Amino acid sequence: MTSAPDPKPGVRVELAVTGMSCAGCAANVERALRKVPGVREAAVNIATSKATVVVDPSFAGREALVAAVRGAGYDVADEAAEVEETRDAEYLSLRRDVLWGGALALVIFLGSMRHWFPWMPALLQDFFVLWALATPVQFVLGLRFYKGAWSALKHGAANMNTLVAVGTSAAYLFSVAATVWPGLFALAGIEPQVYFDTSAVIIVLILFGRLLEARAKGRTSDAVRRLMGLRPRTARVLGPDGEREMPVEDVRAGDILVVRPGETVPVDGVVVEGRSSVDESMISGESLPVDKAPGASVVGATLNKWGSFRFRAERVGEDTALARIIRLVEEAQGTKAPIQRLADVIAGVFVPAVIGVAVLTFAAWALFGPEPRLVTALLNFVAVLIIACPCAMGLATPTAIMVGTGKGAERGVLIKSGESLETLHKVDTVVFDKTGTLTEGRPEVTDAAAAPGVGLEELLRLAASVEAPSEHPLGQAVVRRAAASGLAPEKVDEFRALEGMGVEAVVGGRRVLVGSPRLVASAGVEEARTTPLVASTSRTRAAVSGEVATPAATTVSLAGL
């Protein structure tokens, strides 16, 4: 029994969210989106900075979703390019801040550890000097943490920024009090101590972690960018006034396009005139080019090898095969694995729980800890807040999914979703549906058989000499086999490529043809004379394994296979 179809299928909407810095931010955005009427699903990926929402359009549209994100204290970019620009600018800003902040933090650390570094100048051991050095780190570099914490607080939430802001502020303010009012500490029997190094080093280390995250996000997006780079920027369109070059974005279905040798097919379509051979390995994994004639389909971003042809555009823009592959990779990178959903649930309640634990820690050490209790309680309070930052927990899984799907796409393996990737570790048997996906990416000569009266070396030398000027993969395979046997191609004359059949040339005064059995038959070699030789090279086995047998004929006699 099958269930009834959903009467109101949802519409998938993707939003490029900016301003998120941790898993807690992603959880806040998800909660805000789920509160919008009509939202059935909402998932936010901190690694890609994307929110994927399934919503009933009769209740809410994109505007309502954007308003919900902004209401939670974050923003939505209009285009993906804007997100990339923001990400690049953030990386450069973080790198600059880490460099000068790290220099200040190092000086503060050396000056604060007088018992470790007694050789430091007395000036750097002065509390007021350390205060002056720590202040720009705390309020210039740390401003982003205060802004993030305040934005979350306004919406009744807490995130990693809250932990960093509260922890570093506690250490900084305690140190300011010890610097300005040391007498109060002396009255309480506590030796005045400052912890400017604690707040400064923590801020710089957190920023350094974000710098590494930004770098990882940029690298994991490279796979999609490389796929996008396969698309040609222009197309040659045939119009009433002849050929004209235009941006590929302006091509419309029904246009007649011209593709010349060595050019990339701009969009998907059907050949209407001409013949050629097209390398479709980026789509099919097959190493051999596919012959194209009128009526054959061509796929955008594939490479035209040698012929020129015209074709009618049928699928353009986001409907092309390459665009669908890119969309599949992006969707896979944005999906959540089951383990990530668990991590997100924990991260959503983690920050408030950590703050509560930190307060209890402070109270316990202040009441029952050793002297000086206040100092010990403060240090443990800060330690709990900083060490418990949930960044790694929230970022590790989505980053792993991005890396896995991205690396798979680079190698021609498309992964449907994060759940599929997580389930893959349970697989113990992989079944492939065809041999072409298991080749090395180029054809190789595995067998060669010379006809009676022709030596094997002579066969290879003749075939390699004729194939050397050719760019066809089968011809290059013959040349490589001859080179491996120590045979150098001879100079040829009157080289000619025979469309769809092979090549011919004059070698040492003899006309030599290398190509398909159809070419050999057209040269006058009887089929009966070639059959025993074909059988002796196990052509049936070669065909099954994806290999191609290429006969070579000299004058009108078969030289070998």
538 pLDDT band (50/70/90 cuts)? very low
What is the pLDDT at residue 195?
A: 81
At residue 211, φ and ψ (nearest 5 deg) are -60, -45
Among 6, 78, 241, 433, the one annotated catalytic: 433
104 pLDDT band (50/70/90 cuts)? very high
What is the pLDDT at residue 147?
A: 86
Q: Cα separation of 401 and 338, whole Å?
A: 12
Q: Cα separation of 501 and 60, whole Å?
A: 60
Q: Cα separation of 503 and 520, whole Å?
A: 11
Place of tokens 């595995």: 446
Structure confidence by residue, pLDDT tens digits, 55-74: 888 888 888 898 888 888 78
Q: Cα separation of 116 and 98, whole Å?
A: 25
The predicted model gives 451-466 an average pLDDT of 80
Residue 545 has pLDDT above 50, yes or no: no
Kind plus residue range of the DSSP H or E element containing 18: strand 11-18
Q: Which of 44-58, 146-160, 296-310, 468-482: highest mean pLDDT?
A: 296-310
- Six token digits for residue 74: 């974050």
Q: Cα separation of 351 and 358, whole Å?
A: 10
Catalytic site residue 97? no
Contact predicate 413/438, CB 8 Å? no
**Closest listed residue to residue 459, CA positions, set 470, 445, 473:** 445
**Sign of the dihedral through C-alpha 355, 357, 358, 363:** positive
The predicted model gives 16-37 an average pLDDT of 81
Give the list of residues 6+ apart from residue 423 with CB closer than 8 angstroms, or none: none
Structure confidence by residue, pLDDT tens digits, 138-147: 999 999 889 8
Region of poorest pLDDT, from 186-195, 302-311, 525-534: 525-534
Residue-by-residue DSSP string for 193-247: ---HHHHHHHHHHHHHHHHHHHHHHHHHTHHHHHHHHTS-SEEEEEETTEEEEEE
Contact predicate 477/492, CB 8 Å? no
Give the list of residues 6+ apart from residue 144 with CB closer than 8 angstroms, or none: 21, 161
- Six token digits for residue 203: 């801020």
What is the pLDDT at residue 14?
A: 83
Percent of the chain with pLDDT over 90: 9
Structure confidence by residue, pLDDT tens digits, 207-253: 887 787 777 666 656 666 676 777 788 888 988 888 888 888 888 98
Amino acid symbol at 281: S
List of domains in the chain:
11-78 (3.30.70.100), 84-226+335-405 (no CATH), 234-326 (2.70.150.10), 445-560 (3.40.1110.10)
- Six token digits for residue 214: 């930004």
Place of tokens 């970022």: 395
Q: Between vectors from CA 135 to CA 129 and to CA 140, what angle results, nearest 5°? A: 145
The predicted model gives 497-525 an average pLDDT of 76
Q: Cα separation of 324 and 127, whole Å?
A: 62
547 pLDDT band (50/70/90 cuts)? very low
Kind plus residue range of the DSSP H or E element containing 505: strand 502-507
Residue 136 has pLDDT above 90, yes or no: yes
The CB density around residue 40, as the number of other CB atoms within 10 Å, is 15
The CB density around residue 448, as the number of other CB atoms within 10 Å, is 20
174 pLDDT band (50/70/90 cuts)? confident
Contact predicate 472/306, CB 8 Å? yes
Structure confidence by residue, pLDDT tens digits, 385-444: 767 655 555 556 666 777 777 777 667 677 777 777 778 888 888 887 665 556 666 777
